Chains A and B, each alone.
Chain A
Amino acid sequence: MPCNIPMERIFEYADDELNPLDKVDFERHLAGCDTCRSHFDMVQRMRADITAELSVEAPPYLGRKIANTLERELNQEVLAGSRVAQSLVQRLGQGNAWAQIAAVIVLTAGITLASSLAFFGRPDQKESVAQEVASAYRRALFQDSVVALADTDGARLRQWFQQKSLAVPATLSFSQDGFALRGGRLDFVDGKKAAALVYGHESHQIDVFIWPETHAEQKPEFKTSKNLNVAYWFQNGLEFWAVSDASAEELQHLSALMMTKS
């Protein structure tokens, strides 16, 4: 006698989706029905085949490949590298191909050495902060806007930071010296709340992170981190970290302005 149990009921049983009473009822039926048992066996075989077919393993290299892509997107190494190489060639005053190749070799060796040191060395505390500000600079570039408050008026921006309980120097605007204030945002660096000022200088962006720090006045020191130039200094109970893809000379210029006009 043909069985009138629909296949859907077998699927639901196989998926453990029947309510307890229906399940008991169906199991009783299954025990006495060859047709349903045969269908159920085939469903289970088919499910095993589907599972086998869909259980693919991710290629072992995929995680590393993605991490590298992510890092590359952030670092924009090619752009930064080509700018440095270009300036190196210009400084050498030799526009021929061999000079360019030499510049690229020097640059590559430098980057490799710097990367190796960063990888194998144990970074000191300043190194660690340099990496943090460099990462914060990169991260901001991914946002819709690098500033939370776009205001070119230094006094208003200072007031905004003060409302957020963040101290910044009295003078923030240096547009006459070529550093156009674009605005500010709040950030978190070295475990501290930081005011982040954003300046435009030619085609570059410079971020200056500031937070309170009781430290004797100290003139700027320079580092590179993640292919960015970094400068840090202390003045009037504040710690300053400037970071940019602009040259170290340009950071030095801005830091001198901030120190003398504050």
Chain B
Amino acid sequence: MIVTIDQLPIMLTPDDFHRLAEPSLAPAYRLAYALLRSKSDAEDAVQDSYIRAFRAVGQLRDEFRPWFMAIVRNVCYRQLQQRQRTNSLISLEDAIVRHQGEDDQDWQPTSGERNPEEALIAASNRMVVRRLLDCMPSAFREVLFLREIEDRSYQEIAEIIGKPRGTVMSRLARARRELLKRYRREQARDPRDAL
């Protein structure tokens, strides 16, 4: 197709593009990490999305951030499909083993605001959340992310993921119910056993 000069997309240099995209880097990384639950995979996904967005920037018709986040989402789901094809889904056990490595620091009580027992409960709750997020289907993590981090309404989430509002509500409820069940189970035990 031949385009007229007036229809030509705005030509951006890599530096121009970087200035445009940089404010979206942090939310894009958070979305990628929420979906992929791996820091290195999240980095790769954001980088891949950047390059795709640069190549397609001529198609941008509205705000940059929602357009870019949709690209990140697609890239992440493609990665997840590839993982499924190679049977490399993260099991709960794998997730626990993984988190005994790089993220050990996160489990230390961080301040003197809580007494030791409260700190242990808080730490064990965080561990419950982390383990459950690791093994929950990505579609459920996504609605949690959009609700809790992006502060989106049910209707906005429905539009982003292309599902009815009722599906958003049921996914949120199911994920939260599962978390609450494990919270209660955790708190019924001596918190020190959890660590």
Contact = CB atoms under 8 A, between A and B. Distances in A.
Of the listed residues A46, A65, A148, A149, the one surrounded by the most CB atoms of chain B closer than 10 A to its CB is A46
Contact-size category for A? 35 or more
B5 A42 contact: no
Interface string B126-142: 10111001000000000
9 contacts: A55-B149, A57-B26, A66-B18, A70-B14, A70-B51, A70-B54, A74-B14, A148-B3, A188-B11
Interface in A4-62: 7-8, 11-12, 15, 17, 42-43, 45-47, 49-59, 62
Q: 4 closest pairs, A vs B, by CB?
A: A58-B29, A49-B129, A70-B14, A51-B148
A223 interface: no
Given A47-B148, A55-B149, A63 B55 contact: no
B34 interface: yes
A58 B3 contact: no
A142 interface: yes
Given A43-B180, A54-B148, A58-B26, 5 more contacts: A42-B183, A53-B133, A54-B145, A67-B18, A186-B5
A217 interface: no
A246 B176 CA distance: 61
A256 to B, nearest CB: 30
Contacts of B144: 50, 54
- Interface SS of A by simple majority: helix
Contacts of B8: 186-188
Nearest to A7: B177
Given A15-B147, A66-B47, A7 B26 contact: no
Contact of A63 (B15, B25, B180, B183): B25
Interface of A: 7-8, 11-12, 15, 17, 42-43, 45-47, 49-59, 62-63, 65-67, 69-71, 73-74, 135-136, 139, 142, 148-149, 164, 186-188, 193
A73 B176 CA distance: 43
Interface in B1-51: 2-5, 8, 11, 13-15, 17-18, 22, 25-26, 28-30, 33-34, 39, 42-43, 46-47, 50-51
B2 A53 contact: no
Contact of B154 (A15, A69, A148): A15
B119 to A, nearest CB: 14
